[in-house]
Amino acid sequence: MQDTQHRIEERDGMIIEWDVPITMDDGLVLRADVYRPVQENRHPVLMTHGPYAKGLSFQEGFAFAWMQLERDHPEALEGSSNKYQAWETPDPEIWTRDWGYVCVRVDSRGAGRSPGVLDCFSARETRDYAQCVEWAGEQGWSNGKVGLTGISYYAMNQWQVAALKPKHLAAICPFEGAADLYRDGVRHGGILTSFWIRWYPAQVSSVQNGLGTRGRINHNTGEPIAGPQTDSPASMASRLADLPREQREHTLLDEYFKERTPTLEDIEVPVLSRGNWGGIGLHLRGNTEGFMRCGSRQKWLEMHGDTHWTEYYTPAGRNLMRRFYDHFLKGEDNGWDREPAVLLNVRHPGEKFVARVESEWPLARTQWTRLFLDVAQNTLAPAPGAEASQSFRGFSQGITFVGAPVRQSTEITGPVMARLFMSSSTRDADLFLSLRAYAPNGREALFHGASEPNVPLAFGWLRASHRKLDANKSLPYRPWHPHDEVQPLEPGEIYELDIEIWPTSIVLPAGWRIALTVAGEDYDHQLPGPLVPKAPPQYGAIRQTGCAIHVHDEAADRPADVFDGTTTVFSGGGHGSFLLLPVIPAA
């Protein structure tokens, strides 16, 4: 039977195959667009595989991000017509026409042009990806080496499929990609974030296969991006996993999350993990943990700033990845293997970044510095004070503890943690920790986050009933909570909590202060109304008060009778609550 979807054409300096069929082991056929160099040779392959619809243009589907990129970084769009640009994937006019890579974009099962049940991050979806890698490695136009690329979802599933070790997989570059769905994305410290519940209809079910003529059109082919057929809503609903219900119901790190979380130690291929200091509610932790824990002997970590997508598309960001891929996919001796393992863009106030190479993460020369909370004075001090306590209402901005002005320029770069002694008037409490920086005039310094322009330095979270630690996996600077059981609090009893705060980087000028807020709700920078942007409409246009769209506002997950009680923080004496900071000594 003739395949009416698959067709080939030569245009814009490339050979393009639309809707190439890739048959899975259960007989289902996924569809991919393949962009090939016109030269009839065997070429290295860059692949993405995900649910965002390969035919949806970046400009149409994510206009807010495109306009920001066009306004702030026009150089990122030069050298291309940009008509083949798709959200969070490589531009084939650069990577294929100019640099000689085959770019393969696969619509994952149930999304875009691929039929089947749409079940994000599932084991079935990951097996599909591995089979696509093997398929690409065996094509006549392939040199047998497949690299994975892409941002966000297309980075997260790189960790997943690499752990399966497909034989044709040669390298991965997760760009801002979480590696632990529970800890990095869905349930911060055990507390449900509503991001994915908003994300699902905005970015996934809106391009589910079967929308057909009810959906958008691929402007390069004239075909529906989520077709070709048009199915009934009832039929489509039967093929769509109920992600919002699943995330609400699975409160612990159970089999649902284990299925969707890779064993990083099983990854063997070369890795370039690229993270963003501003990704403080999603992805940042995955890039640093992925780098530290993956089993690869050849691995690199790069950390940058700016928006979630910017440095993937800028000439400098592209060239960095090109050197990595050229070395491992083309076999070029370009010196990449002699690059230091860590490239940090160290952050200073005012969105200034200074590039510096290092040999490891965290940095070996880190001076791990304890600042003790003094709840009587609301300060952070180098030594514990007298025993004291202070209380705050659960649903409030809590208490802020401020350190003394630093006497000289002070760099804080690395993972952060806090130990709190606390009690609750109820059987549980949610702790929201915010690491903050203050200028000498008393104004808080806010930074450009991955998806919001005004964020603090870092966040940490913990539901007190999830306080149990895994001693074998915990590190002095990064506690590890297994999240495998609920341990209710006895009201009024004092408990010791170790709380992970995600990594950060900041150089505090002399006279600046570091601060820690301990609260019972999401951080709010409390900027005047006109200065508070709203998230894009597809994410509910929620006010962005410093947490971007990674907020914890699901009422059913945080009932007031449990989480709006009175939380008491203790310090001094036998209750030495402290903040642990990674201070980097001056060179």
pLDDT 10s digits, 415-442: 999 999 999 999 999 999 999 999 999 9
Q: Which part of the chain has CATH 2.60.120.260?
A: 367-584
**Mean pLDDT within 520-535:** 86
Max Cα distance, the chain (Å): 82
Distances (CA, A) of 544 to 343, 449, 507, 551: 30, 11, 25, 9
The Cα 432–Cα 422 span in angstroms is: 13
Q: Which residues pair with 583 in a beta bridge?
A: 367, 412
Q: Are 92 and 145 in contact (CB under 8 A)?
A: no
Average pLDDT over residues 328-341: 98
Residue 176's identity, in one-letter code, is E
Q: C-alpha angle 262/282/244, rounded to 5°?
A: 80
Confidence of residue 534 (pLDDT cuts 50, 70, 90): confident
CA separation for the pair 288, 179 (Å, rounded): 9
Contact status, residue 498 vs residue 480, Cβ threshold 8 Å: no
What's the pLDDT at 586?
A: 87
Query: Does 538 have pLDDT greater than 80?
Result: no
CA distance 257 to 204: 19
What does the alpha-carbon distance between residue 372 and residue 367 come to, in Å, rounded to a whole number? 16
**pLDDT exceeds 80 at position 270:** yes
Rounded to an integer, the average pLDDT of 367-376 is 98
Q: Is the pLDDT of residue 44 over 80?
A: yes
Q: Which helix (H) or strand (E) holds 418?
A: strand 410-424
Instruction: Give the CATH number of domain 7-208+238-330.
Output: 3.40.50.1820
Distance (Å, whole) CA 115 – CA 212: 12
Examine the pLDDT at 531 and tell me if it is beyond 80. no
**pLDDT score, position 587:** 75
CA 438 to chain centre: 26
Terminal C-alpha separation, the chain: 69
Q: How far apart are CA 376 and CA 443, in angstroms?
A: 23
Predicted local confidence at residue 503, as pLDDT: 98
Q: For residue range 16-42, what is the model confidence (pLDDT) as tens digits? A: 999 999 999 999 999 999 999 999 899
Tokens of residue 40, six digits: 């009839």
Cα separations in angstroms, 336 against 303, 333, 385: 17, 7, 50
**Sheet of strand 102-107, all strands in order from the earlier edge strand to the far edge:** 7-11, 14-23, 29-37, 102-107, 43-50, 142-148, 169-172, 271-276, 299-304, 342-348, 352-358
Buried b (16+ CB within 10 A) or exposed e, 486-523: eeebeeeeebebbbbbbbbbbbbbeebbbbbbbbbbbb
Q: Is 268 helix (H, G, I), strand (E, B) or coil?
A: coil
For 363-388, the DSSP string reads -TT-EEEEEEEETTTTEEESS--S-E
| In CATH, 367-584 is 2.60.120.260 | yes
Residue spans in the chain of domains classed CATH 3.40.50.1820: 7-208+238-330
Asked if residue 347 lies in contact with residue 505, where contact means CB atoms within 8 angstroms, the answer is: yes
Per-residue pLDDT at 334: 98
Q: How confident is the model at residue 388 (pLDDT cuts 50, 70, 90)?
A: very high
Helix (H, G, I), strand (E, B) or coil at 547: coil
Bond before 228 cis per omega within 30 degrees: yes
CA distance 178 to 85: 23
Alpha helices in 468-527 (DSSP H): none
Comparing 299 with 543, the larger pLDDT belongs to: 299
Please give the Cα distance from 51 to 239 (Å, whole number). Answer: 14
> What percentage of the chain has pLDDT greater than the value 90?
95
pLDDT recorded at residue 539: 77
pLDDT at 492: 98
Residues 324, 468: Cα–Cα separation, whole Å = 40
**What percent of the chain is modeled with pLDDT above 70?**
100
In the numeric block, which tokens belong to residue 452? 């919001």
Q: Which two tokens stand for residue 98?
A: 């100019």
Q: What is the mean pLDDT of residues 219-229?
A: 96
Instruction: Tell me how far CA of residue 506 lies from CA of 274, 280, 437, 530, in angstroms.
Output: 18, 14, 9, 27
Residue 548 is classified by DSSP as T
- Report the C-alpha gap between 219 and 555 in whole angstroms: 41
175 secondary structure, DSSP code: B
The pLDDT of residue 478 is above 80 = yes
